[in-house]
Structure 1
Amino acid sequence: MFFKNNKEPHEVFTPRQSKVNPNMYVARPDLEARLRQSLTGTQHVIVHGESGTGKSWLYKKVLADMQAVVLPINLANASRFGGIAAEMKNALERLGTATQTGYSETKSSEMTAVLATGGLEHEKTFALGTKEPFEACCAHLRKEAGKHPACIVFDNLETIFESDEMMNELANLIVLLDDERYSEYRIKMLIVGVPTGVRDYFNRTRNRATVANRLQEIPEVSRLSQSQTAELVKKGFVQELAYDVQSDVLSRVTEHVAWVSDRIPQRIHEYCLEIAQLAQERDKLVGVDLLEVADAHWLSRSLSNTYSVIENLMNERDTKIGRRNQVLFCLGRVEGDEIRLSEIEALVRTEFSRTTENKTLDISTLLSRLAQGDDGVAPVLRRSPKGDTYQFADPMFRMCIRAMLIKDSERQVVSKRSISTIAAGGAV
């Protein structure tokens, strides 16, 4: 099938753009249905998931489908301004909804001429009028929405999650929406961020227990499935960019993209952008040979900080076996979110059979060290609440390990791609 294309790679693969590109949106029917049902229910809604998993795309798509009018409140600004009310005031002022209350007169340098014509300059002063910021936001939303749904979106919850004062402020706003004065505006709250267990957080605090009853968490927004990843890659290269890519090559590219990006939407966009830019330089031909170069570029541009952490955790070069390197490599092979001690030991013995035969590996100690951090290096893992499994402290660590570490099957050792060579544009 022929697809007309006048687009540049950065217009198709948009890892950091806030605006939803409808042509590149990958449907997530279960999550969309849960969010839609929650938004039409009686409770306010929490959307959570790791950075880059597509939380913003999800809620923007669903709210657009519902023809809802939305007021975004960035809690990162609330943290910066010292309170949520201050960010609400800022949001309204940016929309131009403040009310003029007066002015101060400033004399011009040409005093005589100005006075002769009555031409005093006015410096206008604005205020919100009689309503406090939260009610002013509710009133503005309802006026704009008419009979349509209206939603205040509190984004970047993680930026205030450690602040008892601002979490208290958020809790009070949630409770206020049941007050008669505020309920008449029929506003729904959507709270978006990384932290899990937000309802539990409120429920554990005595004076906020009633807040938990007003909140509903939808399932975590996580990585895409293999089929969703394949859909995204195909949409970008074949339908949007109309690049020359054979079906067998597309399959291999998709498999590699899914592996190295951990199927996290933002990272898929980042990595595919690297491939698209490389392919554009050779008449839009996508080949498997581009993957190694794309790995190098992506490591250099997107994963440099994470690279430094993994590099500092690796064994020295003169270590004969490099057991920690082997464990790091095998951590990258794990597909699920939970990492079990038995799984890592089995992988190490399988991947490095000659160096592990009849050996005691002590994987438990190595995983504990990776969870604690080492000599000021950030921890790569974190223990589960029950303490019997681990998770990556940041999904970027898994992605970096996959793109960075190389196994020498003959020598059964693990080495790294040099970030300095990559940055200089040399061979990988």
Structure 2
Amino acid sequence: MFWNPKKNPREVFTPRESKVNQVMYIERPELEEALLDGLLGTKHLVLHGESGSGKSWLYKKVLTDQSLVYRVSNLANASRLGNINEEFLNILNRAEEAKKTSYTETKDAGFNAALASANLSHTDSYRVGSKEPFEALLSDLHAESKGNNAVLVLDNLEAIFQSQEHLKELADLITLLDDDTYAKYRVKFIVVGIPGDLRKYFFETPNLSAVGNRLKELPEVFRLTEEQTEQLIKRGFVDELEYLNVKDKLYNEIVEHVIWITDRIPQKIHEYCLALALEAYRNSRPLQSDDVKVADRKWLEESLYQAYSVVEASMNENETRVRRRDQVIYSLGQLNTSAFRAADVENYVRSRFSDSTEDVQLNINGTLSYLAKQSQPIIRKTPKGDTYVFADPVYRMCIRIMLKIEQNNQLVKKRPLDTLDLDSYLF
């Protein structure tokens, strides 16, 4: 059969693309409206959400649609270079708008607009009359926007969130934007990252509580709805690639499978759909049901080693008789819903491990809370706070493969990594 692919799948599904894929962007009206309202307000904004949830595409789409001039400062560079002001200088240098011949950081104490400026003072050998990096960057944004409002995005907050020194510097910068010297440039901050408790940190830190009042935390950027996920799948496989027809049984099967396997995380959807589409593209034919199994295998193989170590670290460290936490983790892997409550988990644990749970208080809430608070958690709370989801959908698949039940069907044991058989799971 002659088959003429319309596009290369890499042009359609773009999981690592920093620029907004305008064709594949799925509108998120509530989040977009909240961000737009925040831009029209007086406070600086905190945009947070789990990795891969679409934060960057969201703010870039809204800022572009509003014709707002903006620049992005990567706080991972601030961590690497030593401070945020060095990252500002890095941005200026990349744009060839400032030349630095020597630079020595000096640190002072205090916290208000005047002292914040002192905290960011430097010993420089700039040209006479040149500005320090923060003001120079604001000035450039002001000039580029022709005197209108502009935005400075501070992305990857998680890169500095464990550093009190960097957070203090961020607080200084936020405070300075209220000072006439800096306010005249009409630049608003959007702080973007995984942590959602930046305001709480400032409120609870001595001398920094006033900074919390200068920030507005936007609703969490969460996973797509099932309807939005299907919209993305249809746009890619039906409209752009023409690999599927919505009337086909295979279309519905793929939609259901992608929703389940990716947990509706936008980046994961793009990653998985790209792997799936490439199977058809490489074989010069439309999608077939067997392609799903191949895509599943590749999806697992890429992440299995890391996922195994994370799940293993969450299991019971001691050889207890029951290993209740391991029973809970095993049960999480068996649930077929993307979100689950403590009651859902307890019902499964009591049903599957009835001999060791009869007339016993299980404290499932405490176990789930413990698992969600690990440095690399396998689950996390949803914005509503009463349900949980997997932090990465690959953890669920890994749990199903690596854990088994022994000793009268009550004790959970892990299979060694080098003995895992993906074929037994996938086929």
How far off is 1:422 after superposition? Answer: 8.5
Matches within 5 A, 1:273-284: 273-284=274-285
Q: Does residue 1:94 correspond to 2:90, yes or no?
A: no
User: How many residue pairs are counted as aligned between the two chains?
Assistant: 388
Which is further off, 216-225 or 359-368? 359-368
Give secondary structure in 1 for the equivalent of 2:189: strand
CA distance in 2, matches of 1:421, 1:285: 34
In structure 1, stretches of 5+ residues that fail to align are: 103-124, 316-320
Write the letter of the residue equivalent to 2:19. Answer: K
Aligned to 1:399: 394
The letter for the 1-side match of 2:56 is S
Structure 1 residues 348 and 154 mapped into 2: Cα distance closer, same or farther (>3 Å)? same
Query: Structure 1 residues 328 and 295 mapped into 2: Cα distance closer, same or farther (>3 Å)?
Result: farther
Decide whether aligned partners of structure 1 residues 134 and 289 sit closer, same or farther in structure 2, where only a CA change above 3 A counts.
same
How far is 1:152 from its partner? Answer: 0.4
- Read off the aligned partner of 1:237 and give its amino acid letter: F
Paired position in structure 2 for 1:32: 32
Write the letter of the residue equivalent to 2:362.
S
* 1:186 Cα offset (Å): 0.6
Offset, 1:7: 2.5
SS at match of 2:17: coil
What residue in structure 1 maps to residue 242 of structure 2?
Answer: 242
1:378–1:22 distance in 2 versus 1, CA, 3 Å:
closer
Check whether the contact 1:328–1:401 (CA below 8 A) recurs between aligned residues.
Answer: no
Partner residue of 2:362? 364
CA deviations over 1:142-173 (Å, ceiling 9, x no partner): 11111543110000001111111111111111
Structure 2, gaps ≥5 residues long: 103-123, 317-321
User: 2-side partners of 1:423 and 1:86: how far apart?
Assistant: 49
Map of 1:29-428 to 2, 5 A cutoff?
29-99=29-99, 127=126, 130-245=130-245, 247-310=248-311, 327-332=328-333, 333=335, 335=337, 339-340=341-342, 342-349=343-350, 352=352, 356=354, 359-360=357-358, 364=362, 380-381=378-379, 391=388, 395-396=391-392, 398-402=393-397, 405=400, 428=426
- The 1-side partners of 2:288 and 2:361 are apart by 39
Amino acid at match of 2:346: E
Larger Rg, first or second structure (1 or 2): 1
Name the CA distance, whole Å, in 2 between partners of 1:312 and 1:100: 46
Q: Provide Cα deviations, 1:238-288, integer angstroms capped at 9, x if missing partner.
A: 122221445321111111111111100011111111111112233332233
Structure 1 residues 63 and 191: alpha-carbon distance in aligned structure 2, compared to 1, 3 A threshold:
same
Q: Give the aligned partner of residue 106 of structure 1.
A: none
Letter in 2 for 1:199: R
Q: For residue 395 of structure 2, what is the amino acid of its counterpart?
A: C
In 2: Cα distance, 1:361 partner to 1:56 partner: 49
Deviation of 1:70 (Å) = 1.0
CA distance in 2, matches of 1:70, 1:141: 7
Match in the other structure for 1:105: none
Secondary structure (helix, strand or coil) at the match of 2:15 reads coil
8 A Cα contact 1:174 1:211, kept in partner = yes
SS in structure 2 of the partner of residue 206 of structure 1: coil
Shift of the alpha carbon at 1:290?
Answer: 2.3
Q: 1:281 to 1:404 in 2, by over 3 A?
A: farther
Note closer, same or farther for the CA distance 1:201–1:46 as it changes in structure 2 (3 Å cut).
same
Tell me if structure 2 keeps the 8 A contact 1:45–1:191. yes
Q: CA deviation at 1:303?
A: 4.3
Q: Any conservation in 1 of the 2:225–2:264 contact (CA below 8 Å)? A: yes
Q: Percent identity?
A: 42
CA distance, structure 1, for counterparts of residue 153 and residue 33 of structure 2: 18
Shift of 1:198: 1.4
CA contact (8 A) 2:199 2:215 kept: yes
Cα gap change, 1:358 to 1:301, in 2 (>3 Å): closer
Q: Return the letter of the residue paired with 1:401.
A: R
C-alpha RMSD over aligned residues: 3.9
Q: How far apart in 1 are the matches of 2:269 and 2:361?
A: 31
Shift of the 7–412 alpha-carbon distance from structure 1 to 2, 3 Å rule, reads farther
3-state SS of 1:46 partner: strand
Q: Secondary structure of 1:24's match?
A: coil
> Could you tell me which amino acid in structure 2 is paired with residue 233 of structure 1?
I
TM (norm. structure 1) is 0.78
Once the two structures are superposed, residues 128-155 of structure 1 have per-residue CA deviations (whole angstroms, 9 ceiling, x without a partner) of 7620111001000011111543110000
Residue 5 of structure 1 contacts residue 240 of structure 1 at CA under 8 Å; is this kept in 2? no
TM-score (ref. length: structure 2): 0.78
User: How far off its partner does 1:296 sit?
Assistant: 1.3
SS at match of 2:207: helix
| 2:15–2:268 CA contact under 8 A, matched in 1 | yes
- Structure 2 distance, partners of 1:26, 1:157, is 24
SS in 2 for 1:98: coil
State how far apart, in whole Å, the 1-side matches of 2:313 and 2:161 are: 30
144-153 vs 238-247, which moves further: 238-247
Measure, in 1, the Cα distance between the counterparts of 2:256 and 2:361.
Answer: 29
Q: Rate the CA distance shift 1:364–1:233 in 2: closer, same or farther, 3 A.
A: same
Equivalents in 1 of 2:357, 2:192: separation in Å? 47
Aligned equivalents of 2:152, 2:249: Cα separation in 1: 46
Please give the secondary structure, in 1, of the residue aligned with 2:192: strand
Give SS of 2:239's match.
Answer: helix
